[in-house]
Amino acid sequence: MKNVILTSLMLVSAFAFSQEVEKIKVKDSSSTQFNQWSIELGVGQSKGLNPYLPGGNYYSSDPNHEFGKVTLNSYTLGARYMISPKFGFKGLLGYDRLFNFSGNGSREFDTRFYRLQLEGVVNLNRVFGTEKVFGRFGLLFHAGFHVALHQSKTEDKPYEAPSETHNYNATEKDGGLVLGFTPQYRVYDRFSIFFDVTLLSNYRQHLSWDGSSADRTKNLEGRMLATSLGVSVTLGDSRVHGDWELIKDDRQKEMDGLNEKIGQLENMLQDTDKDGVPDYRDKEPNSMTGIAVSPDGRMVDLNNNTIPDELEKYVNTTIIQKLGDIKPSTNVGGDNTNVVINEQAENEMLKRLINENYITAHFEVDKVTPTTVESIDFVLNYLRKNPESKVEIFGNADANGNRAYNDRLSGNRAKHVKNMLVKAGIATNRIEIKPNGVDSSVNKGSKSAKRLVRRVTFKVS
């Protein structure tokens, strides 16, 4: 169904419904906001992997523990800006103090490392489209370069050979590449925790991690592994952390926009009374089934007697013939034969139309003013032609709302129609109102069916 309508929209309906479709607004990607800034604070452990003084028995891990020994010697403060939901940049300041563990068998050393990192960041959850799969879990990849100040605080010992000097208080400038992964977990809307693993590679590192001069034959390359546990706080107007904000891509937005337009067109093209005129153009959306209507949906009544011409013709040629009340007559000016209807038979026909609910007044939701007045005009004409007749007005409501409310609503609808007839000259003592409350004769889950029971019916006597 939607494919057919979409084709029609492109080939035919674009011009015909341009005013209606123009009212539908689709949110484009530029209007989608997410929190782009995040502040990150981490604390953890860093280890110098290499170089150390060859044969000097220096190392930062503890071989007596299966996973080494944990200490807090690394502190970081970072700020991240995402230029899109998938990609961004990150700046980080870090301080690391590398030293031997007490009792781990390494000789004593002490080194300070002050670093500044500038990196690109990739939100892997968004790249692979797994935001909904992993929920509160996330994964970032970051890579870039760093510059650092590397300072030795290892004091030389009297018993050490001159070749083992540790360059106490010597400082050098290092630089190199950095890359890492950051698993995350969103604890609250704007707050998450993370565990970061980062590998730093220094080029032209002259100081070993123990403070001694690096072996030039090893290409003066150094590496450090830093792990940290930290918190990330998002900044921005959205209540959800930017890494987890659900954002539809442009293609999905375009499809959603088309589906919304199609749904709107489907509603516009509904034809509740099945008269061939869609509801958005139908001026009389409750016309009788099978009765000819004008292009705007009104039942054709050329002689303006409030009876649709097709219904009038059917009654004249079918019902009245069966009553045997037909008198042929010939026009003075021509050969056409007219059917002269006995007045009593006509009244019986009109009375039957009213009492069998062919003549009804319909209402919108929660309204007491009818959508059209043709049916009320029909009853008014009958009462004027039959001054001895009386009418009962039955108010009805659909199943929306509670029973007490619908009882009042149905009564108010009947009262409103009564007031219209009274103001048109019908005596009050000829009119009686009867609230029927809810009309449960249709499926209460059907929006179009409920339109048929929001009505007032009549019974004349």
Model confidence at 148, pLDDT cuts 50, 70, 90, reads: very high
Nearest to 94 by CA among 181, 206, 178, 190: 178
Domain span at residue 373? Answer: 301-460
Model confidence at 282, pLDDT cuts 50, 70, 90, reads: confident
Q: Is 138 found in the same domain as 157?
A: yes
Q: How far apart are CA 430 and CA 56, in angstroms?
A: 118
- The 3-state DSSP class for residue 460 equals strand
Model confidence at 8, pLDDT cuts 50, 70, 90, reads: very low
Which pLDDT value is given to residue 198?
97
User: Residue-wise over 402-418: b if at least 16 C-beta within 10 A, else e?
Assistant: eeeebbbbbbbbbbbbb
Model confidence at 24, pLDDT cuts 50, 70, 90, reads: very low
Which pLDDT value is given to residue 97?
94
CATH number at residue 72: 2.40.160.20
Q: Is 341 found in the same domain as 255?
A: no
Q: Is 184 found in the same domain as 59?
A: yes
Lowest mean pLDDT among 185-199, 278-292, 336-350, 442-456: 336-350
Percent of the chain with pLDDT over 70: 76
What 8-state DSSP symbol labels residue 217?
G
143 within domain boundaries: yes
Average pLDDT over residues 158-175: 78
Q: How far apart are CA 206 and CA 171, in angstroms?
A: 10
CA angle centred on 451, ends 365 and 433, rounded to 5°:
75
Q: Is 90 found in the same domain as 17?
A: no
The number of angstroms, rounded, from the C-alpha of 163 to the middle of its chain's C-alpha atoms is: 70
Q: Is 223 found in the same domain as 317?
A: no
CATH number at residue 357: 3.30.1330.60
Q: How far apart are CA 28 and CA 224, in angstroms?
A: 45
Number of domains in the chain: 3
Q: Kindly give the interhelix angle for 343-355 and 374-385, rounded to the nearest 10 degrees.
A: 140
Pairing of strands 87-99, 455-460: unpaired
Q: Is 407 found in the same domain as 332?
A: yes
φ and ψ at residue 244, rounded to 5 degrees: -120, 0
Q: Is 198 found in the same domain as 78?
A: yes
In this structure, how many other beta carbons lie within 10 angstroms of the beta carbon of residue 450? 18
Is pLDDT of 6 > 50? no
DSSP letters of 75-123? EEEEEEEESSSSEEEEEEEEEEEEEPPTTSSPPP-EEEEEEEEEEEEEE
Q: Is 48 found in the same domain as 18?
A: no
Model confidence at 248, pLDDT cuts 50, 70, 90, reads: low
Lowest mean pLDDT among 23-32, 36-45, 306-315, 338-347: 23-32
Which pLDDT value is given to residue 205?
87
Q: Is 324 found in the same domain as 258?
A: no
**Average pLDDT score, the chain:** 80
For 363, counting Cβ atoms within 10 Å of its Cβ (0-12 exposed, 13-18 middle, 19+ buried), the class is: buried
Report pLDDT digits (tens) over 364-420. Answer: 988 999 988 888 988 998 999 899 999 999 999 998 888 889 999 999 999 999 999
